[in-house]
Structure 1
Amino acid sequence: MTTPSTSAAGAEAPAPEAPPGPDAAVRLTGISKAYGSFTAVHPLDLAVPAGSFFALLGASGCGKTTTLRMIAGLETPSSGSVLLGGQDVTVLPPYKRPVNTVFQNYALFPHLDVYENVAFGLRRRGIKSVKKQVGEMLDLVQLGPLARRRPSQLSGGQQQRVAVARALINQPKVLLLDEPLGALDLKLRRQMQLELKRIQTEVGITFVHVTHDQEEAMTMADTVAVMNAGRVEQLGAPADLYENPSSTFVANFLGTSNLIAAEVTGAGGDRLHLESAGQRLTLPAARLRSPVAVGGRVLAGVRPEKITLTHRDDEDAIPEGRNRVQGRIVDSSFIGVSTQYVVDSPVCPELEVFVPNVERDGRLVPGAPVVLHWNPEHTFGLDADQDIDAGVDPEAGEAAG
C-alpha cells in the first residue's frame, strides 16, 4: 500500500457544502450577519431539502438563532441571499415570507381559548369558515377535547402543540422552530421530540429547528448542521455526524469521545498502525479525516459505549485483533441503564467507558486494574493539530447571537 501523504499543517478545513439540487425549501447563499465589528454568522451556504426535518445545532452564541432569524426575515443579512422555494426573499419583510415561527415561550394569546388561538391566522386573513380546518389541525396535534380551554389551563407540552397547530394552519412552506422544547422538563421534552417528528412526517412541511440539545437534534432531524462560532462545522445525517466526526469540536459536542494522541508507525492494507505511550492501536485508513505520513501524529477517537472493560485477570480471554489499552479504574457512576467508568491510562488520564448493566462484574471498582478493548473499526482519526478539548465546554465561548 502507498504510504499516506502528509497533510498541509494548519490548513483550514473546507466549509461544508450545501446539498445539490433545485428542490431545496430553504437555500442560503453567502449569508452572513455582523453587528459592528462582531461577526455572529460568517458567510455560509446551506440548503434545506423540501419536506425534511432540519436542525441547526450548537451552543449559545454559535449563530444558529441569528441564522434562523435571517430566514424568517427578523434579521437583515449583512451579505448573501435567502431563497424560499426558489424565490429570493432576502429583502421581503417577515409577513410576506411563506414561513411561520414557533418560539420557546409559545406566544399564545392568553385571553383566547385553544380553538381561537389556532383559528387566529385564518380569521386575520379574512377566512370566515374555519371550523373544518381548525378541527383537523387540533386532531393532528391531539388536542380536540381541549379546544375550549385557555392556555393557562394547559400543560407546557399542550401549549407547545397549540403553538405548532397555530403556525401550521397557515400552510407555510417552512416552519421555523426556535428552541421550542427548552421550557419543558426532561421527560416531557423527550415525549414532545417524538410528537414533533410525528407531526412533521404527517404534514410533510419542511421544519427548520434550532436547538442546543444534542439529543433533541439527533432524535428528530433528518439532517443536522453543527454550528460553532458562526460557522457550520459539519453537516450530515445524525448517525454520520456521531460515527464520523470531522473535527474535535463535533466529536466532543455530540456526546462523549475519548481522543488519544498517537503517532502513525506504519501502514498495511487498509489499516494504519499507531502507537501511544507504548500502547499499539489500529485505525482504518478510511476513517482518518486528513492524510498523515508515517511518523506524523493523529488523534485516535473512540466512543465510550464502543469499549469493553475487562479485569486484567481475564486479559487472556480477549479476542485477538482488538485495540487494547491498559488502565486502572479511578471512578464509577451507576446511572441505571449503564455504569460509567473513568479509567486512568498511560494514553489518557481520563478515558470514559459506558458498560450496560446486564451482567455486572463485581471486580470492576475504583482501583481495579483493567484492559479497555474495542473493535478497531470503531476507531476514527482526526488531525492532531486541533484543540483536543474543543467542544467539551462550548458554553464558555463569549460570542453572542
Structure 2
Amino acid sequence: MKETASNSSGGDVRLTGISKKYGSFSAVHPLDLSIPAGSFFALLGASGCGKTTTLRMIAGLEEPTTGTVLLGGKDVTALPPYKRPVNTVFQNYALFPHLDIYENVAFGLRRRGVKSVKKQVGEMLELVQLGQMARRKPHQLSGGQQQRVAVARALINHPQVLLLDEPLGALDLKLRRQMQLELKRIQTEVGITFVHVTHDQEEAMTMADTVAVMNAGRVEQLGAPADLYENPGTTFVANFLGTSNLIEAEVAETDGDEVLLKAGESKLRLPAQRCSATVRTGGKILAGVRPEKVSLAHADDAGTIPEGRNRITGRIADSSFIGVSTQYVVHTSVCPEVAVYEQNVERDSRLVPGAEVVLHWNPAHTFGLDAAQSVLAGTVGTAGTEIVKESA
C-alpha cells in the first residue's frame, strides 16, 4: 500500500509510487510526495529512516525499484544525474582544495564552456556574503564559510532544485544555528526549491516551510512545522519532534466538542478535534501535552489553581536549571515521569526534589493519540525507529 504524503497535483518535485529495495530489504516503501515550486522542504528522521535514499533518488544517484521522479512536470526517472536540473550540497562540501573560492564557484560554468564568468561568480559570492574572500583557498575558511561556498557553487548552475544532504552536520551548535538562518535567507532570495535532509528537529523546524517526518522508510506525517508540533498524529511524531508527556487514559464520555477522560483519580478534558484516535466510551486514549504547556504548583497552593484546568498530582523527582528555564521530572500515579519546563521568571524555592506538587494545564493544549501505539516510539534509543542502513 502506498504512503501518500501529499495529494497536490502541482509541484516542482513529484515522486509517484517511489520505493527502493536492496534485495529483500525495503529502504523506502512506496510513497507519493509533491514538493511545491519555490518551497523549502525538509525530509526529517533518524539515521537509517530512508530520507537520504529518497534524496538520492531525486538526484539520480540511486535508481528507484518502483515509481517515477518528475521535476517540473518532466519524467526524469531514467535520466543520469548530470542531465537532471538539480544540484546537491553534501555534508563534506567536496570543495577543490587546490582552487581558490572564486574558481571553486566558477567551476560549473567553466565546465559548460561559459567564457565570461566574472559577473555571475561575483553575484554568487555576494549572495553568500563571501565577496571579500574570493581568492582564499578552502582551508583558509571556517566550516560555515566553506558550506556557503558549496551552496554558491551549486546555485551558479541555476538548478531547478537544490538538494541538501545534512549540510550543517559538521558544524558546531552555535554556527549551525547561524547557518540555518543563512540558508533560509539564501533560499528566500533565489526563490528556488530547496529539499533538505536532516536528523535535527530544530534545524528542520527553523528553516522548512513543510516537513516530512520519516520513519522506517515511510512518511509518518507531513505538514507545516507548527502543525506537526502542535498536532502530532502518532506517538513517533509526538516524541521525535520535541518532548511529549503521554498519559494513558480511559474515555469517560464525549460532550460535544470535548472528550472527557479518566486517568487514575484524575479527570482530564481533551478537544475532540485534537484527537486522532477512535473515541468510544470505555476505550483507551493517550492524552498528550508538551512540557512547556504544563504549570507547576506546590501542593499548598492547589486551591489557587483556576477552575477548568486539567490537573494531576505528583512529587518532584528531579530538576535541572538550564538558564532560560528549569526542567522538572515529576513522578505521578498516572504517568511514571512527567516533564515540565518552566521559564525562570518567578522561581518558587519550594519546588525542589521531594516536593508534593500539582501539575495543571489548559485542556486546549491536550492532544489525543491511539493508545495501541508504543509510548516510547520516536524516543532516543528505543524501538519505534527502525534503524536501517542507508546508501552512502
Q: Same fold by TM (over 0.5)?
A: yes
Shift in Å at residue 336 of structure 1? 1.0
- The answer to whether the Cα contact below 8 Å between 2:3 and 2:30 also exists between their aligned partners in 1 is no
User: Match for 1:268 among 252, 255, 276?
Assistant: 255
CA distance in 1, matches of 2:206, 2:382: 22
Q: Read off the aligned partner of 1:126 and give its amino acid letter.
A: G
- Cα deviations by residue, 1:14-68 (Å, 9 ceiling, x for unpaired): 944414132x010000000000011100000001000000000000000000000
Match status 1:144 vs 2:128 = no
For residue 105 of structure 2, give the secondary structure of its aligned residue in structure 1. Answer: helix
Structure 1: stretches of 5+ with no match in the other structure: 1-11
Structure 2: stretches of 5+ with no match in the other structure: none
CA distance in 1, matches of 2:270, 2:237: 19
For residue 259 of structure 1, give the secondary structure of its aligned residue in structure 2. Answer: strand
CA distance in 1, matches of 2:115, 2:387: 50
2:38 counterpart residue number: 51
Match status 1:399 vs 2:388 = yes
Q: Read off the aligned partner of 2:294 and give its amino acid letter.
A: I
1:280 counterpart residue number: 267
- The answer to whether the Cα contact below 8 Å between 1:177 and 1:207 also exists between their aligned partners in 2 is yes
- The answer to whether the Cα contact below 8 Å between 1:16 and 1:235 also exists between their aligned partners in 2 is no
2:333 counterpart residue number: 346
1:8 counterpart residue number: none
User: Match for 2:155 among 145, 168, 190?
Assistant: 168
For residue 12 of structure 2, give the secondary structure of its aligned residue in structure 1. Answer: strand
For residue 66 of structure 1, give the secondary structure of its aligned residue in structure 2. Answer: helix
1:295 counterpart residue number: 282
For residue 313 of structure 1, give the secondary structure of its aligned residue in structure 2. Answer: helix
Which runs of structure 2 are paired with 1:37-48 in the superposition (5 Å)?
37-48=24-35
Q: Read off the aligned partner of 1:259 and give its amino acid letter.
A: L
Match status 1:387 vs 2:374 = yes
Which runs of structure 2 are paired with 1:152-163 in the superposition (5 Å)?
152-163=139-150
For residue 95 of structure 2, give the secondary structure of its aligned residue in structure 1. Answer: coil
Q: Percent of pairs identical after alignment? A: 77
CA distance in 1, matches of 2:198, 2:334: 34
For residue 262 of structure 2, give the secondary structure of its aligned residue in structure 1. Answer: strand
User: Match for 2:9 among 18, 21, 26?
Assistant: 21
CA distance in 2, matches of 1:111, 1:395: 45
CA distance in 1, matches of 2:110, 2:151: 17
TM-score by length of 2: 0.98
- The answer to whether the Cα contact below 8 Å between 2:251 and 2:282 also exists between their aligned partners in 1 is yes
- The answer to whether the Cα contact below 8 Å between 1:265 and 1:274 also exists between their aligned partners in 2 is yes
Q: CA RMSD for the aligned pairs? A: 1.1
1:223 counterpart residue number: 210
CA distance in 1, matches of 2:227, 2:312: 26
Shift in Å at residue 268 of structure 1? 1.1
- The answer to whether the Cα contact below 8 Å between 2:216 and 2:387 also exists between their aligned partners in 1 is no
- Cα deviations by residue, 1:237-271 (Å, 9 ceiling, x for unpaired): 00000000000000000000000000000111211
CA distance in 2, matches of 1:151, 1:70: 29
Which runs of structure 2 are paired with 1:2-401 in the superposition (5 Å)?
15-22=3-10, 24-393=11-380, 397-401=386-390
CA distance in 2, matches of 1:144, 1:28: 38
CA distance in 1, matches of 2:368, 2:387: 29
Q: Read off the aligned partner of 1:85 and give its amino acid letter.
A: G
For residue 55 of structure 1, give the secondary structure of its aligned residue in structure 2. Answer: strand
- Cα deviations by residue, 1:106-164 (Å, 9 ceiling, x for unpaired): 00000000000000000000001000000000000000000000000000000000000
- The answer to whether the Cα contact below 8 Å between 1:59 and 1:394 also exists between their aligned partners in 2 is no
- The answer to whether the Cα contact below 8 Å between 2:214 and 2:221 also exists between their aligned partners in 1 is yes
CA distance in 1, matches of 2:88, 2:273: 41
Change (3 A) 1:244 1:52: same
- The answer to whether the Cα contact below 8 Å between 2:5 and 2:221 also exists between their aligned partners in 1 is no
Q: Read off the aligned partner of 1:68 and give its amino acid letter.
A: L
- The answer to whether the Cα contact below 8 Å between 1:101 and 1:177 also exists between their aligned partners in 2 is yes
- The answer to whether the Cα contact below 8 Å between 2:69 and 2:76 also exists between their aligned partners in 1 is yes
- The answer to whether the Cα contact below 8 Å between 2:216 and 2:388 also exists between their aligned partners in 1 is yes
CA distance in 2, matches of 1:379, 1:52: 31
- The answer to whether the Cα contact below 8 Å between 2:316 and 2:352 also exists between their aligned partners in 1 is yes
- Cα deviations by residue, 1:194-244 (Å, 9 ceiling, x for unpaired): 000000000001000000000000000000000000000000000000000
CA distance in 1, matches of 2:34, 2:342: 39
Shift in Å at residue 395 of structure 1? 7.4
CA distance in 2, matches of 1:16, 1:94: 25
Change (3 A) 1:136 1:395: farther
